[in-house]
Amino acid sequence: MADLSVNLAGIKSPNPFWLASGPPSNSARQANRAFEAGWGGIVWKTISNDAIVNTSSRYASLNLGTLRMAGLNNIELTTDRSPETNFREIAEIKRRWPDRAMVVSLMVDTRECWHEFVKRAIDAGADGIECNFGCPHGMCERGMGAAVGQQPAVTEKIVTWVMEVATIPVIVKLTPNITDITYAARAARQGGANAISLINTIKSITQVNLDCLVPEPNVGGLSTHGGYCGPAVKPIALHMVQCCAADPEVGLPISGIGGIANWRDAAEFIALGATSVQVCTAIMHYGFRIVEDMIDGLSGYLDAKGFKNLAGLRGKAVPMVQKWESLDLNYKRIARINYDKCIGCNLCYIACEDGAHQSIDLVPPNGQGLGPGRVPGKPIPKIREEDCVGCNLCAIVCPVESCVTMVSIPTGKPKLTWKEYQEKLARGEIKPIPAHP
Amino acid sequence: MPISPKLGPEAAAANMADIAPRYTPQEAIIEANRCLFCFDAPCIQACPMGIDIPSFIKKILTGNLTGSARTILTANILGGSCARVCPTEVLCEGACVVLDREKDPVKIGRLQRYVVDYAQENRLQVLKAPSGKSGKRIAVIGGGPSGLGCAAELAQLGHQVVVFEKKPNAGGLNTYGIAYYKMKPEVSLAEVELVKSLGVEFRCGVEVGKDVSIKQIEKDFDAIFLGLGLGKGGRLNLPGEDVPEVVEALDFIEQIHTHPLHDVAVGDRVAVIGGGNTAIDAVTQALRLGAHEAVIVYRRTREEMPAYEFEQQLARTYGVKFLFNVVPTEILSNSKGHVTGLKLARTSSANGKVQILPGTEFIEPFDMVIKAIGEQKQVELFKKLFPALEIHPRGVVRRNPDTGQTNLPNVFSGGDCANGGREVVNAVAEGKKAARGIHAFLSGGKTSGPVQPSRYGVQGAPVGSGFDKPIRVLELEKEYARQRK
């Protein structure tokens, strides 16, 4: 069994799976249930000094086909419970579960307030602080949350306030609602933060109710921009995590957040540089029990790959992401169809024909062996290999596992990046690659 | 003993309830999500009407049920009844690629029923006849599926149509001859109303050749569509056949459709002679109406039974017994003229020829015998109505399969009287084709069908789809035959 324990800038937990700051981490009752289920840590729902009042109707979902909550947005603010209640429960939970990571998320305004709340968190026994500089709704209108995270100078300033009194590791949670997240990450580093967590939610409107023309969530006939999360945001989060992991000027440990619902998602974040991962939406959908497969699956994966611990996996995919100009222009792959598996939906054909590069023909089957149930004589899709640009679209739309596959084709040509291509062209060493007809 | 009704109203209604009830909206969405939205989908090609199935399913998912109903009904005016009675297992669902992928096709028939039911219940006007009329009048003789298919299409092409129907209600077999647990007559009558709403006039209870002459019709109308269906059930020509408890399957089923269920008499031990789908309909309904035992008596082997495999399976599930390679030689009655049993003999059907094996006779007790040995052709009637009409040696009207036109230029035909007896969907398709043929005949144009949007781009493919070139999925039929062995 691989060792799943992690140490994020000094915050230790038996596994990398933490509750993200959000509705599931709002009380001792939930924390107890989560830790009983096996979660490695918790980022307690953000505590602020404002008296929070929430609206009724707070979440809205993007459903795709039969899949519910492919994406979720919310307009809920920080915890609606008093700081006293929260800090008392934090202390109780830490005493009861000493081996789990207890991180307290904070969002206050003045330097004095930051000092007070950081100290109260330390006194409650927290293992770390997470500064919420990312919340994109409500609190940002009051100069907090994303209002801080979107201005690197302000981020840096507030982090320095926190570091003045912090005796435990400090994580800065970053907002994705910014052109280049590494600027905010660098500011956190400049201010002295020990780690970063990302991404917070993305500004969004999930849907407009077409009967009343009010977007969801509908609060008495009006809506507002909410924070978007769930499986649909994972690609954006992975991109931003990789950017921070690859940036030497950031150079901080990362807690990955954004659409993580299972161990595979977690492994991808870790491969792109995350140390721990935080989960919220998947718990809101299925409850704390999902961690069982997360632990089991990740552990099995590490064993299968021969990694003794998570350090073996961490960051392995980071250098595999480079600028476009570093990619090999002479690399060639094409699509191949396995006719034994082809069920005749012709989605590959129409996707290529109308949506991509017109490299698939429909031709008579001419005795081609096909599965039972096929309409006799019905045309079959055939890749015109010389025209196939290897875009992957047909393999992506094919509804049958391993039916359309992408195959690397040896071109016999040496690697040629765009950069090299431009240099060689300038020196007159090669002719221009002919344009696509 | 004379036979009598066996069940009270509630038990009879429960036993005859829909075998495939309508989907709830949630069920429909879940099932519709299974459709892959194939391009040039095999299901369209397998549908004799060429319904753009992926499109109507997609429209369920987007909440566009009006559009979905329009997609179905423009292709097939009887979309509601075909959704229930089509042998989808060998048509659309048999060709569904999801069947290939996961051995369980998208339930196209049930989705179609869901949509058409919705349109009907909400009285959505999805079809419209043009306000400008051509001034041409067409007489449709026979108000069954082919006649309705022809009339609806002609009305939508701007012609005036009158349907002549012998029975009190139009709809043909859909109204009088479908297993009750598959479709209730109300569904068929609602479809007749739909055709009426397009401006088609129905003259029911009118027998052409008796109540109105062909001469008169030819005088009043520019063209005629003959959709007479098939005639009476065939005779066994056995001693003892003409007693009250020996009934024809379609008469038995018609009783179920025209009387309260608890008033339909059924035997205690029922023998059904025949091996087709009508035999299955009769035998299962006899059981559902309270017969203690019902037996299919078929003169050939199980493998040779023409009933679809899934129909046979339905009968077996319901506890029907089968006597294969057995033929009745005499119907036995008591002194009061009531059926007491069948004298049967074993047969050999090797080399396709049925031969009675001497010395194998035996007697089985029955108190009701249902004949389901196919219906008679109506050659006599054709000759009486149209002495010059060309008849195929098979006893059916000879017509151009693409236009429905017979050797008499103003007379067109389709459905069972022209194809010898196929599915409801084939009859509607032939009626619709004939309507296009009539339209071309009257307007001097060519017949052509619209290209379905989801097929756009493969015109000229080696196999045409659906309505314009219906095809059978022979490979599938072979596969079913293989599985049966």
DSSP letter for each residue of B248-259: EHHHHHHHHHHS
Q: Measured between CB atoms, which of B36, B37, B46 is closest to A375?
A: B46
Residue B460 carries which DSSP code? Answer: T
Secondary structure tally for chain B: helices H, strands E: 20, 14
A364 and B99 within 8 Å at the Cβ level: the answer is: no
Q: Measured between CB atoms, which of B30, B41, B463 is closest to A377?
A: B463
Q: Is the torsion defined by CA of B298, B302, B304, B307 positive or negative?
A: positive
B38 and A65 within 8 Å at the Cβ level: the answer is: no
Residue spans per domain, chain B: 20-127+450-485, 137-231+377-448, 246-371
Closest to B283 (Cα-Cα) out of B304, B314, B246: B314
User: What is the C-alpha to C-alpha distance for residues A391 and A400, in angstroms, rounded to an integer?
Assistant: 18
Closest to A170 (Cα-Cα) out of A258, A48, A253, A249: A253
Contact between residue A246 and residue A316 where contact means Cβ atoms under 8 Å apart: no
Q: Please report, for residues A20, A79, A129, A317, B286, the alpha-carbon distance to residue A122 in angstroms, rounded to integers and kept in the order given.
A: 19, 19, 8, 36, 81
> How many Cβ atoms sit within 10 Å of the Cβ of residue B163?
27
User: What is the C-alpha to C-alpha distance for residues B42 and B95, in angstroms, rounded to an integer?
Assistant: 6
- Tokens at B400, concatenated: 């151009």
Q: What's residue A140's pLDDT?
A: 77
Q: Measured between CB atoms, which of A347, A354, A373 is closest to B38?
A: A347
Give the pLDDT of chain B (485 residues) as one tens digit per residue: 789 999 999 999 999 999 999 999 999 999 999 999 998 788 888 888 889 899 999 999 999 999 999 999 999 999 999 999 999 988 899 889 898 888 899 999 999 999 999 999 999 989 988 888 899 999 999 999 999 999 999 999 899 999 999 999 999 999 999 999 999 999 999 999 999 999 999 999 999 999 999 999 999 999 999 999 998 888 899 998 999 999 999 999 999 999 999 999 999 999 999 999 999 999 999 999 999 999 999 999 999 999 999 999 999 999 999 999 999 999 999 999 899 999 999 999 888 789 999 999 999 999 999 999 988 888 999 999 999 999 999 999 999 988 899 999 999 999 999 999 999 999 999 999 899 899 999 988 766 555 444 444 443 433 334 455 433 334 334 544 555 55
In B314-419, beta strands by DSSP E = 321-323, 326-333, 339-348, 355-356, 362-365, 368-371, 411-413
Which residues pair with residue A387 across a beta bridge? Answer: none
Contacting residues of B for A343, CB less than 8 Å apart: 97-98, 100-101
> How many Cβ atoms sit within 10 Å of the Cβ of residue B150?
37
Q: Which residue has the tokens 């990362």?
A: A254
User: What is the C-alpha to C-alpha distance for residues B57 and B68, in angstroms, rounded to an integer?
Assistant: 7
Residue spans per domain, chain A: 6-320, 324-426
Nearest-5° angle of CA B313, CA B319, CA B323? 80
- Give the type of residue at B336: K
User: What is the C-alpha to C-alpha distance for residues B293 and B312, in angstroms, rounded to an integer?
Assistant: 16
Contacting residues of B for A402, CB less than 8 Å apart: none
Q: What's residue B456's pLDDT?
A: 42
Q: Say whether residue B33 is in contact with chain A using an 8 A CB cutoff.
A: yes
Q: Which residue has the tokens 């009158």?
A: B162
User: What is the C-alpha to C-alpha distance for residues B339 and B358, in angstroms, rounded to an integer?
Assistant: 25
**CA of B38 to nearest chain A CA: how many angstroms apart?**
4
Q: What's residue B42's pLDDT?
A: 84
Catalytic position from the list A135, A229, A243, A342: A135
Choose the mutation target among B31, B33, B38 for the interface with A, i.e. most A CBs under 10 Å. Answer: B38
User: What is the C-alpha to C-alpha distance for residues A333 and A329, in angstroms, rounded to an integer?
Assistant: 11
Beta strand pairing status for A17-19 and A274-279? parallel
Contact between residue B279 and residue B207 where contact means Cβ atoms under 8 Å apart: no
- Tokens at A197, concatenated: 């967590």
> For this structure, is A135 an active site residue?
yes
CATH class of B20-127+450-485: mainly alpha
Exposed, middle or buried: residue B232 (CB in 10 Å: 0-12, 13-18, 19+)?
exposed
Q: Say whether residue B477 is in contact with chain A using an 8 A CB cutoff.
A: no
Nearest-5° angle of CA B289, CA B290, CA B294? 95
Buried b (16+ CB within 10 A) or exposed e, A304-339: eeebeebeebbbebbeeeeeeeeeeeeeebbbbbeb
Secondary structure tally for chain A: helices H, strands E: 13, 20
Q: Measured between CB atoms, which of A345, A353, A374 is closest to B457?
A: A353
Residue A62 carries which DSSP code? Answer: E
- Give the type of residue at A387: D
User: What is the C-alpha to C-alpha distance for residues B391 and B381, in angstroms, rounded to an integer?
Assistant: 11
Closest to A183 (Cα-Cα) out of A157, A220, A151: A151
Contact between residue B148 and residue B78 where contact means Cβ atoms under 8 Å apart: yes
In A14-141, beta strands by DSSP E = 17-19, 41-47, 59-64, 67-74, 101-106, 128-132
pLDDT along chain A (437 residues), means of 10: 96 98 97 98 93 91 94 94 96 98 95 96 98 83 83 94 98 96 97 97 96 96 96 98 98 98 98 98 98 97 97 98 96 93 90 93 69 61 93 96 95 94 94 87
User: What is the C-alpha to C-alpha distance for residues A129 and B425, in angstroms, rounded to an integer?
Assistant: 71
Closest to B270 (Cα-Cα) out of B295, B235, B297: B295
CATH class of B246-371: alpha beta
Closest to B370 (Cα-Cα) out of B311, B263, B300, B298: B298
The CATH architecture assigned to A324-426 reads 2-Layer Sandwich (3.30)
User: What is the C-alpha to C-alpha distance for residues A419 and A428, in angstroms, rounded to an integer?
Assistant: 14
User: Is-same-fold flag (B20-127+450-485; B246-371)?
Assistant: no
Closest to B251 (Cα-Cα) out of B266, B238, B268, B239: B266
Q: Which CATH superfamily is domain B137-231+377-448 in?
A: FAD/NAD(P)-binding domain (3.50.50.60)
Contact between residue A155 and residue A185 where contact means Cβ atoms under 8 Å apart: no
Q: What's residue B281's pLDDT?
A: 94
User: What is the C-alpha to C-alpha distance for residues A382 and A197, in angstroms, rounded to an integer?
Assistant: 47
- Tokens at B25, concatenated: 């909206």
Q: What is the helix (H) or strand (E) element at residue B65, kind and residue range?
A: helix B65-75
Q: What is the 3-state secondary structure (H, E, C) of A316-379?
A: CCHHHCCCHHHCECCCCEEEEECCCCCCCCCHHHHHHHHHCCCCEEEECCCCCCCCCCCCCCCC
Contact between residue B120 and residue B78 where contact means Cβ atoms under 8 Å apart: no
- Give the type of residue at A290: I
Residue A219 carries which DSSP code? Answer: B
User: What is the C-alpha to C-alpha distance for residues A280 and A18, in angstroms, rounded to an integer?
Assistant: 9
Contacting residues of B for A349, CB less than 8 Å apart: 39
Q: Please report, for residues A58, A188, A216, B11, B342, the alpha-carbon distance to residue A220 in angstroms, rounded to integers and kept in the order given.
A: 12, 39, 11, 51, 77
Q: Which residue has the tokens 């309260």?
A: B260
Residue A176 carries which DSSP code? Answer: S
Please tell me the CATH code under which domain A6-320 is placed.
Answer: 3.20.20.70
User: What is the C-alpha to C-alpha distance for residues A170 and A127, in angstroms, rounded to an integer?
Assistant: 9
Q: Which residues of A touch B (CB under 8 A)?
A: 65-66, 343-347, 349-350, 353-354, 362, 364, 371-379, 399-400
> How many Cβ atoms sit within 10 Å of the Cβ of residue A168?
19
Which residues pair with residue B226 across a beta bridge? Answer: B141, B413
Contact between residue A228 and residue A206 where contact means Cβ atoms under 8 Å apart: yes
User: What is the C-alpha to C-alpha distance for residues A223 and A206, in angstroms, rounded to an integer?
Assistant: 11
Q: Which residue has the tokens 């449709």?
A: B140
Q: What's residue B44's pLDDT?
A: 86
Contact between residue B98 and residue B75 where contact means Cβ atoms under 8 Å apart: no
Contact between residue A195 and residue A222 where contact means Cβ atoms under 8 Å apart: no
Beta strand pairing status for A67-74 and A226-229? antiparallel
In A234-279, beta strands by DSSP E = 254-257, 274-279
CA B281 to chain centre: 12
Contact between residue B101 and residue A343 where contact means Cβ atoms under 8 Å apart: yes
A278: CB partners within 8 A, 6+ apart = A18, A19, A20, A21, A43, A197, A255, A256, A257, A260
